[in-house]
């Protein structure tokens, strides 16, 4: 009996709110009451008020919220009623889709309320009528556009352009830059210059050693080959000494070839490192003394940088 009496009082209060809301200030009175009390009847009454006022998206969302609340309160009759009303409104919903350029992170609002970024690019149910879409980003000029959404399944697409830089921020940035101490010009590290010149000398020394080795073994190859021919009166049929000398000549020739190739590569690399040295470029007239001593199996580099 007590529950029935409370329900009757609730229905009477909701009816009173309904009549006063529609005749004076729309659904605002019901909105205030519904926000202060978790009354399912008031929730359904507010949804009905939205629907009669043509605010289909608000009514649809309110019916869905009432259905969730009725399920949590274990009131299956009200849950079924709320879901049926929400289903009936789906064909009447109007939508707006707000898209932004990829790579541009902006804050988007609709009628002053933020639009979640995961909803950008998707169709959002919105009440028919005029709406203001705005976009902003730090250091960028704000953008806004008014749109009008019709009834019965209207759909409006809004593309947020690339926001330009805010010109009002440029003088402030220049003023801040003027207060900063002048930066010192970049300087070359003497250590890096010295390392490059040292590598140039080493590469040149290896090149000279390679040329010397190639020359030495080239002469030896020619000598061995000449002696091998003397042991081969009926060439290519030679005796044991002739075959041995011919093998030595071939080995010496191979070493000579490798030496010449290594020497040319070393001299070329050394010259490139030397003439591209930063100190060399700054002072072309700078004189450097260097000495290279080449011996069989040893290379010695001396000099000043």
pLDDT in the model for residue 182: 62
Closest CA to 194 of 274, 292, 271, 270: 274
Which among 14-23, 245-254, 255-264, 280-289 has the top mean pLDDT? Answer: 255-264
> CB under 8 Å to 50, separation ≥6 — which residues?
27, 56, 58, 59, 62
Residue 234 three-state SS: strand
pLDDT for position 84: 94
Query: According to the model, what pLDDT value does residue 13 have?
Result: 40
- Asked if residues 212 and 202 have their Cβ atoms less than 8 Å apart, the reply is no
Q: Which domain holds residue 67?
A: 2-91
Is residue 102 in a domain?
yes
CB 41 within 8 A of CB 66: no
Mean pLDDT of 22-49: 72
Is the CB of residue 266 less than 8 Å from the CB of residue 223? no
pLDDT over threshold 50, residue 166: yes
CA 17 distance to own-chain centroid: 55
Residues 82-138: tens digit of each pLDDT: 999 999 999 999 999 999 988 788 999 999 999 998 899 999 999 999 999 999 999
Percent of the chain with pLDDT over 90: 29
CB-based contacts of 254: which residues, under 8 Å, 6+ apart?
A: none
Residues 205 and 267 in one domain: yes
**Is residue 224 predicted with pLDDT exceeding 60?**
yes
Highest mean pLDDT of the ranges 246-250, 255-259, 301-305: 255-259
What residues form DSSP beta bridges with 100? Answer: 160
Same domain, yes or no: 297 and 228: yes
Pairwise pLDDT comparison (14 vs 81), residue with the higher score: 81
* Most confidently modeled range among 42-46, 165-169, 253-257, 286-290: 42-46
Same domain, 25 and 83: yes
Number of domains in the chain: 3
Same structural domain for residues 105 and 133?
yes
pLDDT for 283 beyond 60: no
Least confident range from 1-10, 26-35, 262-271, 295-304: namely 1-10
pLDDT of residue 218: 77
> Is residue 134 included in any domain, yes or no?
yes
**Structural element, H or E, at residue 123:** strand 123-126
The last residue of a domain, from among 141, 160, 179: 160
- The answer to whether residue 110 sits within a structural domain is yes
Of the residues 64, 91, 118, the one at which a domain ends: 91
Band of pLDDT at residue 183, cut at 50, 70 and 90: low
Tokens of 137: 């980003």
d(CA 203, CA 161): 59
Q: Identify the CATH number of the domain in which residue 23 sits.
A: 1.25.40
Q: Give, rounded to a whole angstrom, the gap between the first and last alpha carbons of the chain.
A: 109
In a domain, 176, yes or no: no
At residue 196, the pLDDT reads 73
37 within some domain:
yes
Q: What is the 3-state secondary structure of 132-196?
A: EEEEECCCECCEEEEEEECCCCCEEEEEECCCCECCCHHHHHHHHHHHCCCCCCCCCCHHHHHHH
Determine, yes or no, domain membership for 184.
no
Q: What angle do CA 196, 202, 203 make, to 5 degrees?
A: 90
Asked, for residue 45, whether it belongs to a domain, the answer is: yes
Residues 208 and 279 in one domain: yes
* CB 172 within 8 Å of CB 256: no
d(CA 60, CA 46) in angstroms, rounded, equals: 11
Measured between alpha carbons, how far is 27 from 62 in angstroms, rounded to an integer?
13
CB contact set of 157 (below 8 Å; sequence gap of 6+) = 96, 97, 99
**Strand 107-110 and strand 113-114: pairing?**
antiparallel
Dist CA 260 CA 215 (whole Å): 8
Nearest to 161 by CA among 110, 106, 114: 106
Nearest residue to 291 via CA among 281, 299, 280? 299
Q: Are residues 46 and 129 in the same domain?
A: no
196, 277 Cβ separation under 8 angstroms: yes
Mean pLDDT comparison of 69-83, 158-172, 190-204, 255-269, highest-scoring range? 69-83
Look at residue 6 in the predicted model and tell me its pLDDT: 31
Average pLDDT across the chain, whole number: 75
Report pTM.
Answer: 0.47
pLDDT band, very low/low/confident/very high, at 266 (cuts 50, 70, 90): confident
Q: Is residue 172 part of a domain?
A: no
Residues 81 and 50 in one domain: yes
């Amino acid at each position: 009996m007590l529950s029935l009496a409370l329900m009757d009082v609730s229905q009477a209060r909701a009816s009173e709110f309904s009549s006063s809301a529609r005749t004076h200030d729309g659904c605002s009175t019901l909105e205030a009451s519904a926000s202060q009390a978790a009354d399912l009847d008031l929730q359904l009454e507010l949804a009905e008020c939205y629907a009669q006022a043509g605010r289909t998206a608000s009514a649809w969302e309110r019916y869905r919220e009432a259905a969730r609340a009725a399920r949590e309160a274990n009131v299956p009759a009200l849950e079924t009623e709320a879901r049926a009303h929400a289903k009936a409104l789906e064909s009447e919903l109007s939508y707006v889709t707000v898209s932004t350029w990829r790579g541009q992170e902006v804050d988007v609002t609709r009628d002053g309320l933020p639009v979640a970024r995961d909803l950008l690019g998707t169709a959002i149910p919105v009440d028919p009528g005029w709406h203001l879409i705005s976009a902003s980003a730090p250091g960028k000029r704000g953008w806004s556009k008014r749109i009008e959404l019709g009834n019965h399944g209207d759909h409006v697409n809004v593309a947020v352009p690339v926001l330009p830089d805010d010109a009002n921020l440029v003088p402030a940035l220049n003023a801040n830059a003027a207060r900063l101490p002048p930066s010192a010009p970049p300087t070359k590290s003497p250590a890096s210059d010295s390392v490059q010149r040292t590598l140039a000398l080493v590469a040149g020394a290896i090149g000279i050693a390679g040329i010397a080795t190639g020359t030495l073994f080239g002469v030896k190859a020619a000598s061995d080959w000449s002696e091998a021919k003397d042991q081969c009166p009926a060439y290519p049929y030679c005796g044991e000494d002739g075959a041995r000398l011919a093998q030595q000549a071939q080995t010496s020739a191979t070493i000579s070839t490798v030496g010449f190739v290594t020497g040319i590569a070393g001299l070329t690399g050394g010259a490139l490192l030397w003439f591209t040295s930063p100190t060399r470029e700054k002072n072309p007239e700078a004189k450097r003394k260097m000495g290279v001593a080449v011996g069989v199996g040893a290379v010695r580099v001396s000099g000043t940088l």
